[in-house]
Amino acid sequence: MVWGLYNIKGTGRQDMVTQVEEIRQRIENSRKSSLLAAEGVTLLGASKAQGVEVIEACIRAGVADFGENRVQEAQAKWPEIKRKYSQVRLHLIGPLQSNKAGEAVALFDIIQSVDREKLVDALVKEMRAQGRDLPCYVQVNTGAEEQKAGVRPEAAGAFIGYCRAAGLHVAGLMCVPPVGQHAAPHFALLAKMAAEHGISQLSMGMSDDFETAVRMGATCVRVGRALFGERLD
Ligand SMILES: *Cc1c(COP(=O)(O)O)cnc(C)c1O
């Protein structure tokens, strides 16, 4: 993967401003159209495979939350960006190996992909060692897909209990619905599980379905292609 490569309508400041405004407008329209929608929805730029320049254009256009999938790629891009824009929050939205927990805790502000006890233990240990207390999201494999990250829905209750007992701050739930299925039932399941467990944040919805997610109560939508253009990776 070449991180500097991107194919984007919005590399220039003005184009990016227009793109961000359009997505914010779509979020707001969806929010107003549903009684289930949250009061506020965070637009998270899913910036995997995007270069520093385009990410900075997006920050200048007003986006303050970004998600990266790989620790290594984030380490190559984000220390420089964070030095310039200290207000930005960096979320880890891809799978995390427990042996990378230390690096993740040092760089990220929010971990959205917590799904295994071993990872919970590693995160808790690293947060204590580094004196950091990051909000975490439990990723739920709502489609119970074989290869997919996330805890199975039937195991989520016990897993959330494990996280809390270990001292992890479970701020939210996150899901990536199966490709080729209607996303709405998956979003509904995630929202129901969050309500059952007293969890307030819901990270759900991507470029093709963020409006549905907002109508169903998303507090964070993770938008890549609709914001940055198609990826070339
Ligand atoms: C890439 C990615 C997104 C954004 O996907 P788009 O379809 O480009 O909007 C959101 N969430 C996760 C976990 C991703 O890996």
State how far the alpha carbon of 205 is from the alpha carbons of 14, 99, 223, in Å: 26, 29, 8
Atom index in ligand 1 nearest the CA of residue 93 equals 13
- Determine if ligand 1 sits within 6 Å of the CB of residue 93: yes
The whole-number pLDDT of residue 6 equals: 46
Q: What share of the chain is helix, strand, coil (3-state, %, to 5)?
A: 45, 15, 40
Q: Residue 106 corresponds to which tokens in the numbers above?
A: 């040092």
Check if the beta carbon of residue 40 is closer than 8 Å to that of residue 219.
yes
pLDDT tens track for 169-225: 999 999 999 999 999 999 999 999 999 999 999 999 999 999 999 999 999 999 999
Task: List the alpha helices (DSSP H) in 48-131.
Answer: 52-60, 71-84, 101-107, 117-130
Q: How far from chain centre, in Å, is Cα 226? A: 15
Identify the residue whose C-alpha is closest to ligand 1 atom 6.
224
The whole-number pLDDT of residue 229 equals: 87
pLDDT tens track for 27-50: 999 999 999 999 999 999 999 999
The whole-number pLDDT of residue 75 equals: 98
pLDDT tens track for 141-160: 999 999 999 999 999 999 99
Identify the residue whose C-alpha is closest to ligand 1 atom 4.
224
| Nearest-angstrom CA–CA distance, 59 and 13 | 10
- Determine if ligand 1 sits within 6 Å of the CB of residue 69: yes
69 Cα–ligand 1 center, Å: 9
Which residue among 91, 222, 225 has the greatest number of ligand 1 atoms within 8 angstroms of its CB, and so is best to mutate?
222
CA-wise closest residue to 192 among 153, 165, 162: 153
The whole-number pLDDT of residue 232 equals: 66
The whole-number pLDDT of residue 13 equals: 60
Which residue among 58, 206, 211, 228 has the greatest number of ligand 1 atoms within 8 angstroms of its CB, and so is best to mutate?
206
pLDDT tens track for 103-151: 999 999 999 999 999 999 999 999 999 999 999 999 999 999 999 999 9
Helix (H) or strand (E) holding 46: strand 42-46
- Determine if ligand 1 sits within 6 Å of the CB of residue 225: yes
- Determine if ligand 1 sits within 6 Å of the CB of residue 46: yes
| Nearest-angstrom CA–CA distance, 91 and 108 | 6
Look up the pTM and report it.
Answer: 0.94
State how far the alpha carbon of 31 is from the alpha carbons of 46, 88, 119, 210, in Å: 21, 24, 34, 11
Q: What one-character DSSP code corresponds to residue 177?
A: P
